[in-house]
Structure 1
Amino acid sequence: MEISISRATDFAILAQFLCVLNQNKNHHIGYCGELYEEILQSLEEDFIDQNGRKTFLIVEDLDGVMAAIGLDIDEGSASAEVWGPFVKSDLNAQQISMKLWHEIQQIYPTIHTFYFFINEQNKGVLSFMKEINATQTGKHLVLQIERENFIPLKKIKSDLFQISDFERFANIHNKAFPNAY
């Protein structure tokens, strides 16, 4: 199967593709939202390189976009958050993911650190991560509460932060979030 990769030209079409896939936990990437407007806004604000080019690559078939990968690049740290690879079909998904990955690395050779935020049910990308020898550095939870399940506190008691609290606060933070900023 010959795969033709091109730079995304229409963020509206790409946002629709990402919106549909990212609502499915089997394709979900944590950096990417689930609402069309939110995704489109992120694409327009964060996926343009310093030369004004879109930093998303796509693969299309007769039905439109079938796969994509994008980089939200931080030039200062030579790093990027990776959106994807998103592949609509399981057929040749690994092959398509690898071709997208190699192509985007060739286009942006100065990026040395890549961050992924993958749903644990996204087996396709987890398999891809093994193939590229990525190192898992943590697991994250996204916590959510619905208003109807929220029970407000009757009384809130807190004290203002004092400089003398800093060392104890830093110790708690470092134990709860090792190697964090």
Structure 2
Amino acid sequence: MAKINLMKKDDIQMVAEFISELNKMEHSHIGYCGKDRFEIAHSLNDDLTDIPYDKSFVTVYEKEELIGVLGFDADLMSDSAEIWGPFVKDNKWDIVNSMWEAMYELLPAEINSISMFPNSKNRKVSQLATNLSFSKHSDQTILTFSRNRKDELEEVPIVEIREEYFEEMIKLHEESFPGTYYNGQQIIERLNENNKVFIIANDNLSGYVYVEAEPAYGEASIEFFAVKESERGKGIGYQLLTVALTWLFAIGSIQSITLCVNSSNQNAINLYKKVGFQHIHDLSFFTKQIGIN
């Protein structure tokens, strides 16, 4: 008989391996979670800071065999949570409703929005989201650039932002990404040896790109980039992305850079592919409002 329990410390490595194996197959892939078992274990241990795994994840064992995992990554500042899973062995899908009920009871009262991010080929989780009255928010395209292709990048001068361009960069950021998770001033305040803004400018700022790196974990991301409307069509976006990749791959531990782009933004996708990014997944983003009277 299957037993549903809260995840324990002793489960970490087995759960990480379980998620890793299922996430390597598109029909069971979930976008929030990685494919490398060490990175997954690190995320479970260190990244679930608002609510730890032993209060946010459930496991299902049958005769001492792990057959299912489901949990959430809560962000209490935004009153939201990202759902990890469900990860279930193909022939054990009948346990998923019980798993969902057990996990749902763990959600704190202040959470009012939950989201799911299954691969478009993950039919079971997409159907589950529909059955649970989630709304499909968007389709997303996942692209990646691997380190072994860095020598294909063109040489472009790397120019870090200087204080004289702070005001212009903040203005361009607010125009391009209103209401996003970091405003322009917050980006400036986050600048350090691992978080950089690179620019293309003559007398005035033409565009910028903001990147973050965690060398200790081999992780990096291109968070934002924008080009002034009057400067578009001149190859500036291409140059900014090339600069970002060149700088990030100068960090020896970075093996790849992955981007998530709205599938309807074909211009951006074409630009990323022109730089050298490769299309790896299509995902569906589902959301649901809960706990709101």
Q: TM-score, normalised by structure 2?
A: 0.51
Identical pairs, percent: 26
Q: Shift of the alpha carbon at 1:8?
A: 1.4
Pairing 1:31-50 to 2, within 5 Å after superposition: 31-47=32-48
Q: Shift of the alpha carbon at 1:49?
A: 6.1
Number of residue-to-residue matches in the alignment? 174
Q: Which residue of 2 aligns with 1:107?
A: 106
Q: Shift of the alpha carbon at 1:53?
A: 3.2
* Structure 2 CA distance for aligned equivalents of residues 85 and 127 of structure 1: 12
* Structure 2 CA distance for aligned equivalents of residues 60 and 131 of structure 1: 25
Tell me the SS of whatever aligns to 2:73: strand
Aligned in 2, Cα 1:53/1:166: closer, same or farther, shift over 3 Å? closer
Q: AA paired with 1:102?
A: E
Q: Shift of the alpha carbon at 1:112?
A: 2.2
Q: Which residue of 2 aligns with 1:163?
A: 167
Pairing 1:95-134 to 2, within 5 Å after superposition: 95-110=94-109, 111-134=111-134
Q: Shift of the alpha carbon at 1:139?
A: 2.2
Q: Shift of the alpha carbon at 1:108?
A: 2.2
Aligned partners of 1:47 and 1:70 also within 8 Å: no
Q: Which residue of 2 aligns with 1:12?
A: 13
* Structure 2 CA distance for aligned equivalents of residues 75 and 169 of structure 1: 25
In the alignment, structure 1 segments of 5+ residues that lack a partner are none
Q: Shift of the alpha carbon at 1:34?
A: 0.8
* Structure 1 CA distance for aligned equivalents of residues 173 and 48 of structure 2: 36
More strand by percentage: 2
Aligned partners of 1:48 and 1:54 also within 8 Å: no
Tell me the SS of whatever aligns to 1:34: coil
Q: Shift of the alpha carbon at 1:126?
A: 0.6
Name whichever of 19-28 and 3-12 sits farther off: 3-12
Aligned partners of 1:49 and 1:55 also within 8 Å: no
Q: Please tell me whether Structure 1 or Structure 2 has the larger radius of gyration of its CA atoms.
A: 2
* Structure 1 CA distance for aligned equivalents of residues 77 and 29 of structure 2: 28
Q: TM-score, normalised by structure 1?
A: 0.79
Q: Shift of the alpha carbon at 1:125?
A: 0.6
Aligned partners of 1:68 and 1:84 also within 8 Å: yes
* Structure 1 CA distance for aligned equivalents of residues 18 and 77 of structure 2: 30
Aligned in 2, Cα 1:151/1:166: closer, same or farther, shift over 3 Å? same
Q: Describe the superposition over 1:133-154 as per-residue Cα deviations: whole angstroms up to 9, x where unpaired.
A: 1112222222112333763224
* Structure 1 CA distance for aligned equivalents of residues 68 and 6 of structure 2: 12
Q: Shift of the alpha carbon at 1:115?
A: 2.0
Aligned in 2, Cα 1:136/1:71: closer, same or farther, shift over 3 Å? same
Q: AA paired with 2:117?
A: F
Tell me the SS of whatever aligns to 1:45: helix
* Structure 2 CA distance for aligned equivalents of residues 44 and 165 of structure 1: 36
Tell me the SS of whatever aligns to 2:138: coil
Aligned partners of 1:33 and 1:39 also within 8 Å: yes
* Structure 2 CA distance for aligned equivalents of residues 33 and 51 of structure 1: 18
Name whichever of 105-114 and 43-52 sits farther off: 43-52
Quick check: 1:24 aligned with 2:28? no
Tell me the SS of whatever aligns to 1:84: strand
Aligned-pair Cα RMSD in Å? 2.9
